[in-house]
Amino acid sequence: MERMYVVWIDVNGFTRLTLINTSSGANSILGYMLAASNADWLNVNETGFTVNSTPVPTSSQYQSVGDCAALLFNSSSGDKTYLQLPAPKQSIFMADQQTVDPSQITSLVAACVGNLVTASGDLTTAFVGGIRRPTTREWYK
């Protein structure tokens, strides 16, 4: 199992850490996450070396890394895992602005299924759904 640590940063300078557990590396997953997020990555570590960037986060409706879209995947054994997408773009949600529209993240889902792994090490086999999890801390916005 490979594990990628990503430090995300938003336009307000707040950060959030996400972990992406995969069987063969998370570069493609990270690329599709960036396309669906208003945040940008500040640091990435997957191979034991930390890579730093000059991030350019976007100012938009869900610009805080405190907000995320929790994307739920399951495996053939029934194990489940979440992929946390910080500062999700408004366009990935349905009209209720809470439920993730799977048709807006098809490339991300395709990169995850068969590569993202659960805590027990099982490969994910399907995307179950996603929902917005807003921050509850006012100082975080």
pLDDT tens per residue across span 69-97: 999 999 999 999 999 999 999 999 999 99
Residue 115 pairs with which residues in a beta bridge?
A: none
Q: Mind listing the pLDDT tens digit for each residue in 23-37?
A: 999 999 999 999 999
Residue closest to 89 by CA, chosen among 10, 5, 26? 10
Q: How confident is the model at residue 113 (pLDDT cuts 50, 70, 90)?
A: very high
pTM > 0.85: yes or no: yes
**Token digits for 29?**
């997953």
Q: Around 116, how many Cα atoms within 13 Å sit in the side-chain half-sphere?
A: 27
**Structural contact between residues 82 and 33, judged by C-beta atoms closer than 8 angstroms:** no
| 114 contact partners, CB below 8 Å, separation of at least 6 | 23, 123, 124, 125
| Average pLDDT, rounded, for the chain | 93
pLDDT-derived band of residue 51, with 50, 70 and 90 as boundaries? confident
Helical (H) or strand (E) element with 109: helix 106-112
